[in-house]
Amino acid sequence: MNLTAIKSIYRFEMARFFRTITQSLISPVLSTSLYFVVFGTAIGSRIETVEDVSYGAFIVPGLIMLSVMTQATSNASFGIYFPKFIGTIYELLSAPVNFIEITVGYVGAAATKALFIGTIIFITAFFFVDIQVAHPFWMLAFLIMTCISFSLLGFIIGIWAGNFEQLQLIPLLIITPLVFLGGSFYSVTMLPPIWQTITMFNPVVYLISGFRWAFFDTADVPVGLSLLAISLFMAACLTAIWWIFRTGWRIRQ
């Protein structure tokens, strides 16, 4: 194991994050605050409680998940796409490193950034609403697993993407709709029965439900199912990455 290489990739990627710290942190904090103002305060004042939780507090887990998923995906996809775009990928390919080390370095850094942002949003939320966390350990576990799995997904997108447009395509067309329709701002039980069934095919529902359970001890789906869903998702991403490096797809000729 080339631990030094993992550390180097990780540090180099984190340096990019800290170099652009303002845009890295301010924009998610700002957009989350706007969500709180619009949904939590303005609209939320008309909705009293959802599942015995005030609406403002109810949307906190969903908002954190929304930011973490989109940030993890975009950070990881950019992290590996950029070396491909500017050509510095040659160095990774000619270095004495294997695909596990490259993945751990890039995905680790992207997941850390997403975790940072998630934490900041969590702290920001405190300024707007009263929230308590029922299961702190599981909250952290769900958060970290989401950071990692969506960073893995972003990593795959970054390798697949042939241009900047494609880099934005999947997050824009698939992830954002899935997250919005995954119960970030509402409980699945609020939907008509037919849509409740359809929604169950959305994997994000399980993640948000599990995360929300960690906060309020109520969930749309059993927690075990949420854990299973995120584990399966992570396994699928890892298999895809293993296949990518084994075949050299879009990387090595």
Partner 1 sequence: MTAIVSVTNLRKSYDTGFEALKGINLEIEEGEILALLGPNGAGKTTLISTICGITVPTSGIITVGGFDTVHEYRAARSLIGLVPQEINLEPFETVQNTVRFSRGLFGKPRDDARVAEILKSLSLDDKATAKIKELSGGMKRRVLIAKALAHEPRVLFLDEPTAGVDVELRKDMWNVVADLKRQGVTIILTTHYIEEAEAIADRVGVISKGQILLIQDKAEMMAQMGKKQLRVDLAQPATTIPAALAHYDLTLEKDGNVLVYTYDTRKDRTGIRTLLNDMANAGLTMTDLQTQQSSLEDIFVGLVKDNA
Amino acid symbol at 109? A
* Binders in 77-96 for partner 1, by CB under 8 A: 82-83, 86-88, 90-96
Amino acid symbol at 194? I
Q: Shortest distance, CB of residue 90 to partner 1, whole angstroms?
A: 5
What is the token pair recorded at 69?
A: 């998923």
Is there binding between residue 4 and partner 1 (CB under 8 A)?
Answer: yes
Q: Shortest distance, CB of residue 246 to partner 1, whole angstroms?
A: 11
- For 175, half-sphere exposure in the C-beta direction (CA atoms, 13 angstrom radius) is 23
Residues contacting partner 1: total by CB under 8 A = 27
What is the token pair recorded at 225?
A: 């199912």
Which residue lies nearer to partner 1 by CB, 91 or 134? 91
Is there binding between residue 68 and partner 1 (CB under 8 A)?
Answer: no
Is there binding between residue 12 and partner 1 (CB under 8 A)?
Answer: yes
Residue with tokens 């001890």: 217
Q: Shortest distance, CB of residue 115 to partner 1, whole angstroms?
A: 23
Which residue lies nearer to partner 1 by CB, 96 or 193? 96
Length reported for the chain: 253
Which residue lies nearer to partner 1 by CB, 14 or 190? 14
Is there binding between residue 109 and partner 1 (CB under 8 A)?
Answer: no
Residues lying near partner 1 in the complex (CB under 8 A): 2, 4-5, 7-9, 11-12, 15-16, 19, 82-83, 86-88, 90-97, 248, 252-253
